[in-house]
């Protein structure tokens, strides 16, 4: 019996149960994926759930907002990827130790490869956990990066963490000087139910020839993707990344390599 689950708050609208229950069925394994809503600051519950991974009562857990950074303190070991990013999204047990890993970075690169080649330069909107995973992944491939956040000190903090990354503020004046091959939205702007939000200002033209990758995966076409396509740019949402990071986590928990198309099919029926 494979017992999996998700720590976060809120968790009730998560697509992870669909992905992992589909993966369980596709692999022929018997199991369940449970939701563990853990209130921000409830460290006792985090410690207890990580203990259940260490004792193998749970085969593995995903971690989402707001616990991706806090959970790092309570695991026995971080993988080099999770340590470099400064966030975990996947927990599992190896040699009686609770390990914290991060599959967002490899998941992003895997899906990006389907969309475009790793560009020479990228511009990242947002400075949270997902932005750090994206920056880590692209820096490791030699991409030069500019990052912008609505709180400039957060962008500056991210730039200090990753040498070679340049921080700017998220103002129209600063954004109109951006010249890049790839714009990446790593903010929740445009995510259901905030369908009208867009991290790139409506009044501003996109840099010529840039492609747009929006990490937001619900709805199937975000405002940012719609505007970029209308301007003649190639653009995609992050649904493929969501599938990749889940498939990589499932492989860490079970050793099973799940067919991405099967997961994509299942999850496409749930986004609207």
Is residue 131 a contact residue for ligand NAP (CB under 6 A)? yes
Q: Which is nearer to ligand NAP, 78 or 241 (CB)?
A: 241
**Which two three-digit tokens encode residue 62?**
């995903």
Is residue 263 a contact residue for ligand NAP (CB under 6 A)? no
Work out whether the CA dihedral 27, 219, 8, 100 comes out positive or negative: positive
The angle at the Cα of 202, spanning 241 to 159, to the nearest 5 degrees, equals 55
DSSP 193: T
Residues 64-93 that bind ligand NAP (CB under 6 A): 65
Is residue 126 a contact residue for ligand NAP (CB under 6 A)? yes
Piece of the chain touching ligand NAP by CB under 6 A; list 23-31, 94-102, 234-242, 256-264: 234-242
Q: Distances from the Cα of 223 to the Cαs of 82, 195, 214, in angstroms?
A: 31, 7, 10
> What distance in Å separates the CA atoms of residue 215 and residue 134, rounded to the nearest whole number?
10
Total residues in contact with ligand NAP, by rule CB under 6 A:
27
- Binding letters toward ligand NAP, positions 142-161, x by CB under 6 A: -------xxx--x-------
Is residue 188 a contact residue for ligand NAP (CB under 6 A)? yes
Is residue 127 a contact residue for ligand NAP (CB under 6 A)? yes
Is residue 63 a contact residue for ligand NAP (CB under 6 A)? no
Catalytic residue status for 110: no
Q: Distances from the Cα of 250 to the Cαs of 73, 173, 237, 260, in angstroms?
A: 23, 43, 22, 11
Query: Taking the complex as a whole, how short is the minimal distance between the CB of residue 191 and ligand NAP, in angstroms?
Result: 5
113 Cβ contact partners less than 8 Å away, ≥ 6 residues apart: none
Burial of 12 (0-12, 13-18, 19+ CB in 10 A): exposed
Closest CA to 134 of 229, 218, 221, 244: 244
Is residue 217 a contact residue for ligand NAP (CB under 6 A)? yes
Q: Which is nearer to ligand NAP, 180 or 218 (CB)?
A: 218
Is residue 42 a contact residue for ligand NAP (CB under 6 A)? no
Is residue 129 a contact residue for ligand NAP (CB under 6 A)? yes
Contact residues for ligand NAP, defined by CB under 6 A: 65, 104, 107, 126-131, 149-151, 154, 186-189, 191, 197, 199, 215-217, 238, 241-242, 245
Residues marked active site are found at 68
């Amino acid at each position: 019996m494979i017992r999996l689950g998700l720590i976060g708050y809120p968790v009730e609208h998560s697509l992870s149960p669909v992905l992992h229950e589909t993966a369980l069925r596709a692999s022929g394994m018997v199991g369940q994926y449970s939701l563990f809503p853990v209130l921000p600051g409830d460290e006792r519950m985090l410690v207890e759930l990580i203990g259940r991974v260490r004792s193998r009562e749970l085969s593995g857990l995903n971690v989402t907002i707001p616990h991706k950074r806090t959970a790092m303190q309570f695991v026995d070991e971080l993988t080099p990827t999770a340590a470099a990013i400064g966030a975990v999204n996947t927990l599992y047990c190896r040699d009686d130790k609770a390990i914290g890993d991060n599959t967002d970075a490899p998941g992003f690169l895997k899906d990006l490869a389907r969309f475009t080649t790793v560009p020479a330069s990228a511009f990242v909107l947002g400075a949270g956990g997902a932005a750090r995973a994206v920056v880590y992944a692209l820096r490791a491939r030699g991409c030069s990066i500019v990052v912008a956040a609505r709180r400039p000190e957060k962008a500056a903090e991210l730039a200090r963490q990753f040498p070679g990354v340049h921080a700017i503020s998220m103002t129209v004046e600063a954004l109109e000087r951006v010249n890049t091959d790839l714009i990446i939205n790593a903010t929740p702007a445009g995510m259901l139910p905030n369908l009208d939000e867009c991290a790139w200002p409506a009044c501003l033209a996109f840099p010529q020839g840039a492609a747009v990758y929006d990490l937001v995966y619900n709805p199937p076409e975000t405002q940012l993707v719609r505007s970029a396509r209308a301007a003649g740019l190639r653009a995609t949402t992050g649904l493929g990344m969501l599938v990749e990071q889940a498939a990589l986590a499932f492989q860490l928990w079970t050793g099973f390599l799940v067919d991405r198309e099967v997961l994509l099919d299942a999850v496409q029926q749930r986004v609207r």
